[in-house]
Amino acid sequence: MPSLSFSSDEPNETTSLCTAGECEREKRLLRKKRLSRYIAVGLLALVSILLAAIVLAASDHNGHRPDVSESTNINPVNFTFPPDFIWGSATSSYQIEGAANQDGRGASIWDTFCQEGGHVLENATGNIACDHYHLYKDDVQLMEDLHLKAYRFSISWSRILPYDNGYGYGNQINQAGIDFYNRLIDTLLDHGIEPWVTLYHWDLPQALEEAVGGWRDPGNTIVEAFGDYSRICYSAFGDRVKHWITINEPWTVAVHGYNDGTKAPGRSHNGTFETYIVAHNMLLAHSAAAFIYKQEFASHGGMVGMSNSADFRYPLLPNSKRDRKAAERAMLFQFGWFLDPVITGDYPAVMRERLGDRLPQFTKKQSQQLLDSCDFLGINTYSSALATTPEKDPIRGGYWGDMFVTTSTHSSWGKNFMGWPIVPDATRELLLWISHRYNYPLLYITENGTAEEDHDLQAAQHDFGRRLFFEGHLRACRQAIQEGARLGGYFAWSLIDNFEWEYGYQRRFGICHVDFETQVRTPKSSAIWYSQTIQTKGANII
452 tagged catalytic: no
Binding site annotation covers 462?
no
Is there a contact between 90 and 530 (Cβ–Cβ < 8 Å)? no
HSE on the CB side for 451, CA within 13 Å?
16
Give a three-class secondary structure readout of 169-237: CCCCCCHHHHHHHHHHHHHHHHCCCEEEEEEECCCCEHHHHHHHCHHHCCCCHHHHHHHHHHHHHHHHH
Q: How far is CA 247 from the centre of its chain?
A: 11
Cα–Cα distance measured from residue 417 to residue 451, given in angstroms and rounded to the nearest whole number: 5
Q: How many helices (H) and strands (E) in the chain?
A: 20, 15
CA dihedral 105, 109, 112, 114 (to 10 degrees): -100
Binding site annotation covers 194?
no
Binding site annotation covers 500?
yes
CA dist 385 → 312, 332, 340 (Å): 7, 14, 22
Cα–Cα distance measured from residue 377 to residue 336, given in angstroms and rounded to the nearest whole number: 12
10 tagged catalytic: no
CA dist 6 → 10, 142, 322, 461 (Å): 11, 11, 55, 12
The secondary element (H helix, E strand) that includes residue 250 is helix 250-258
Binding site annotation covers 64?
no
Catalytically annotated residue among 97, 194, 274, 447 = 447
Is there a contact between 310 and 379 (Cβ–Cβ < 8 Å)? yes
**40 three-class SS:** helix
Binding site annotation covers 248?
yes
Binding site annotation covers 382?
yes
Q: Residue 493's beta-bridge partner residues?
A: 90
Binding site annotation covers 169?
no
List phi, psi (to 5°) of 298. -60, -25
Catalytically annotated residue among 249, 274, 452, 471 = 249
Is there a contact between 340 and 411 (Cβ–Cβ < 8 Å)? no
Burial of 12 (0-12, 13-18, 19+ CB in 10 A): exposed
Burial of 36 (0-12, 13-18, 19+ CB in 10 A): exposed
Q: 351, 253, 382, 385: which is closest to 306 by C-alpha?
A: 253
Q: Residue 385's beta-bridge partner residues?
A: 313
Q: Which residues are catalytic?
A: 249, 447
User: Which residues are annotated binding-site positions for substrate?
Assistant: 95, 201, 248, 382, 493, 500-501
User: Which residues are annotated binding-site positions?
Assistant: 95, 201, 248, 382, 493, 500-501
